Structure 1
Amino acid sequence: MIGLPFVYTLAGLTFLAFAVLSLRDASNRKRWGNGAFWGLLALSMLAGDRLGDFGNGLLVLALVAIAGTGQLGRGAGGTTAVVRAERAARYGNKLFLLALVIPATALAGTFGFEHLPGLVNPKQVTLVSLALGALLALVTGLAWLRPHPAAPLQEGRRLMDSVGWAAILPQMLASLGAVFALAGVGDVVGQLMSGVIPAGSKIGAIIAFTVGMALFTMVMGNAFAAFPVMAAAIAVPLLIHQYGGDPAVVCAIGMLAGFCGTLMTPMAANFNIVPAALLELKDRNAVVWTQVGTALPLLAVNTLFIWWFAF
């Protein structure tokens, strides 16, 4: 049965290729740091289960040491800007069809694999479908555009070098959210908020929850990391237990409120820093500034939706 091991293996092999290509890039003065960083990340995905908790902890500290001491640099791998501009002019917006292959495959797999029992782990079907979508997009691109076979890996490495250590920030912050939840941070936040929210004010509790989700997401870079804290602090004890809110509505729309915070923070590197690197924008935070005007009205709407639909 196909499950997360397949996804981890695929990602691990990809980062291993990035490590090898980094080590071979003589134009990068910090190639050894890049090679070590992506190599350690590959090791965590390929052999994390065998390393154990202590080994993985040491691996994370090594990653932090490499990034914190400025050992990551940018090489000259990948296609040149002239070649990219020529291909963009030749194919135009048709290039976006490759990007659409991934969500289309993920959607089809999520609903289609349930009719093929025993093939894919039902708890991990979306992630597996997403990985298969990436593979299908890769094969489609190679067949259509006919680049050098190593071009996808070189371009992937170029993108990772542009983003740097921030590429793994979402995983780190999601783990931090789980640690916070186990440490009882949600209970502490709940006690603090009890002194701020007016007694018996349902709308006050709703605003505290949605705004808190957005703010915690902005700090932690990941709504999934913020949710355990804010759910333990406000959603469960107040909105669900005290006021009788529908758990499905409160939790689902609460996550949407958190995603509003995602739009407004550079900590959400995969959403906001990667596009800036892909578009080669001079301002790494240009995507964030553009999205603020959308995020704030959406946050207000999500707050009203919980008020209208959860009670």
Structure 2
Amino acid sequence: MMFQQQYLMWLAGIILLIVAVFSWRDPANPRRLTTGLFWALYGMIFLISDGVYQWMTPRTLHIAVGVAVVVMALIAGFGGVRLGRYHQRSDEEKQASAKRLGNQLFIPALAIPVVTVVGVLAFNNLPGLQQAVFGAGNHSTLITLFSMMMGCLIGWLVALKMTREKPMQSMQETRRLLDAVGWAFILPQILATLGLLFTSAGVGNAISHLTEQYLAVDNRFIAVAVYAIGMALLTMVMGNAFAAFPIVTAGIGIPILVLQHHGNPAVMAAIGMFSGYCGTLMTPMAANFNIVPARLLELPDRNAVIKAQVPTGLMLLVVNIFLLWFMMFL
């Protein structure tokens, strides 16, 4: 039986459902019913597979998922996701454990990227291994996801061994982190979907028309600057470079930089995404990156992270413009 990407979705869904059950059973959470419902609805979306179409039409399924997302938005909007009690150690026990482990605490976290890189290299350089696990065909994305999953699993087992905690306590910590992040946890997925909707609606074509009509994109440097700055600005509006990328690339990158100026599409895509990340550093819409850390660190200014990152974001954006200009037309 070959490994499929759907298995990863099911794993995520099962974890979210366990979090929902723990939330419902937590009397310390003042909104335990709505908190559990929020994570249960999110988990159910991950559990959907092609088998659902045997007893439900695609249109009915899409409506059901849409209703679930609307309910989640209402729960989040009315403050339905709250913190509870997570059976954590006392401060004294935490300090004693930290002192005992020292820098070994970094080992589980470092195991994730190390195992991911080793897995990707192994699958790409041992064709027989790739076919044995995934079957015939191109599985580049699945290889990365599978390797990262194995890294997370190994890091989790190492952490349990080092801390001498029970596996269920790791689920409590998962719930604690999810409750702390709250609605912002699903924001990247929602914004990426929004980007696809904008692309299907022809927003990219509208941007292309406005750019060609009102900007001097016949000049290579101006065209490059418009693309990079457009990526950063739209990312700031949408909160996610993945959501902005298909829109700006369809409107400016492909028709102007690639087709009109004959630029290298690979360079355009790589540095274009990097330009979008510059916008991520400077927007509250990227709540999971910029607002949540301020909340977790209990900073008095919720925009403190953004203010610290703005100079870096602007400098990187200028560097990206010149990188595109020099490298895209070699």
Please report the TM-score for the alignment, with normalisation by the length of structure 1.
0.93
Moved more, 130-139 or 179-188: 130-139
1:26 to 2:27 alignment: yes
- Separation in structure 2 between the aligned mates of residue 37 and residue 261 of structure 1, nearest angstrom: 29
Corresponding residue number in structure 1 for 2:116: 106
After TM superposition, the structure 1 = structure 2 runs for residues 90-129 of structure 1, keeping only pairs within 5 Å, are: 90-114=100-124, 115=126, 116-118=129-131, 119-120=133-134, 121-129=139-147
Instruction: Please say if residues 13 and 44 of structure 2, whose CA atoms lie closer than 8 Å, have aligned partners that are also in contact.
Output: yes
**Deviation per residue, 1:229-276 (Å, 9 max, x gap):** 001111111111111111111111101111111222232234334544
DSSP 3-state at the match of 2:130: coil
**Deviation per residue, 1:150-192 (Å, 9 max, x gap):** 2211111111111111100000000000111010001112222
Post-superposition shift, 1:61?
1.5
Please identify the structure whose Cα radius of gyration is greater: 2
Q: Which amino acid aligns with 1:264?
A: M
Counterpart selection for 2:280 from 242, 262, 265: 262
- Separation in structure 2 between the aligned mates of residue 86 and residue 259 of structure 1, nearest angstrom: 39
Q: Cα gap change, 1:275/1:103 in structure 2, threshold over 3 Å: closer, same or farther? A: farther
Counterpart selection for 1:68 from 73, 77, 85: 77
Corresponding residue number in structure 1 for 2:151: 133
Counterpart selection for 2:169 from 132, 145, 151: 151
Corresponding residue number in structure 2 for 1:46: 47
Moved more, 174-183 or 99-108: 99-108
Instruction: Please say if residues 177 and 224 of structure 1, whose CA atoms lie closer than 8 Å, have aligned partners that are also in contact.
Output: yes
DSSP 3-state at the match of 2:167: coil
DSSP 3-state at the match of 2:48: helix
**Deviation per residue, 1:197-224 (Å, 9 max, x gap):** 2252211111111111111112212111
Q: Which stretches in structure 1 are left out of the alignment for 5+ residues?
A: none
Instruction: Please say if residues 290 and 306 of structure 2, whose CA atoms lie closer than 8 Å, have aligned partners that are also in contact.
Output: yes
- Separation in structure 1 between the aligned mates of residue 269 and residue 261 of structure 2, nearest angstrom: 14
After TM superposition, the structure 1 = structure 2 runs for residues 195-210 of structure 1, keeping only pairs within 5 Å, are: 195-210=213-228
Counterpart selection for 1:218 from 211, 236, 241: 236
DSSP 3-state at the match of 1:264: coil
What is the RMSD computed on CA atoms of the aligned residues?
2.0
- Separation in structure 2 between the aligned mates of residue 170 and residue 138 of structure 1, nearest angstrom: 24
After TM superposition, the structure 1 = structure 2 runs for residues 69-84 of structure 1, keeping only pairs within 5 Å, are: 69-80=78-89, 82=91, 83-84=93-94
> Among the aligned pairs, what percent are the same residue?
44
DSSP 3-state at the match of 1:74: coil
- Separation in structure 1 between the aligned mates of residue 217 and residue 141 of structure 2, nearest angstrom: 41
Moved more, 276-285 or 41-50: 276-285
Corresponding residue number in structure 1 for 2:8: 7
- Separation in structure 1 between the aligned mates of residue 46 and residue 213 of structure 2, nearest angstrom: 44
Post-superposition shift, 1:228?
0.6
Q: Cα gap change, 1:287/1:176 in structure 2, threshold over 3 Å: closer, same or farther? A: same
Moved more, 200-209 or 277-286: 277-286
- Separation in structure 1 between the aligned mates of residue 163 and residue 217 of structure 2, nearest angstrom: 63
Q: Which stretches in structure 2 are left out of the alignment for 5+ residues?
A: none
Instruction: Please say if residues 276 and 284 of structure 1, whose CA atoms lie closer than 8 Å, have aligned partners that are also in contact.
Output: yes
Q: Which amino acid aligns with 1:58?
A: V
- Separation in structure 1 between the aligned mates of residue 306 and residue 100 of structure 2, nearest angstrom: 30
Q: Which amino acid aligns with 2:73?
A: V
**Deviation per residue, 1:9-44 (Å, 9 max, x gap):** 111111111101111111111000110000111111
- Separation in structure 1 between the aligned mates of residue 292 and residue 154 of structure 2, nearest angstrom: 21
Instruction: Please say if residues 16 and 39 of structure 1, whose CA atoms lie closer than 8 Å, have aligned partners that are also in contact.
Output: yes
Q: Cα gap change, 1:242/1:160 in structure 2, threshold over 3 Å: closer, same or farther? A: same
- Separation in structure 2 between the aligned mates of residue 288 and residue 3 of structure 1, nearest angstrom: 38
Moved more, 13-22 or 117-126: 117-126
Q: Which amino acid aligns with 1:117?
A: Q
Q: Which amino acid aligns with 1:156?
A: T
Instruction: Please say if residues 29 and 84 of structure 2, whose CA atoms lie closer than 8 Å, have aligned partners that are also in contact.
Output: yes
**Deviation per residue, 1:115-168 (Å, 9 max, x gap):** 212213444111121122111111110011112332211111111111111100
Q: Which amino acid aligns with 2:227?
A: F
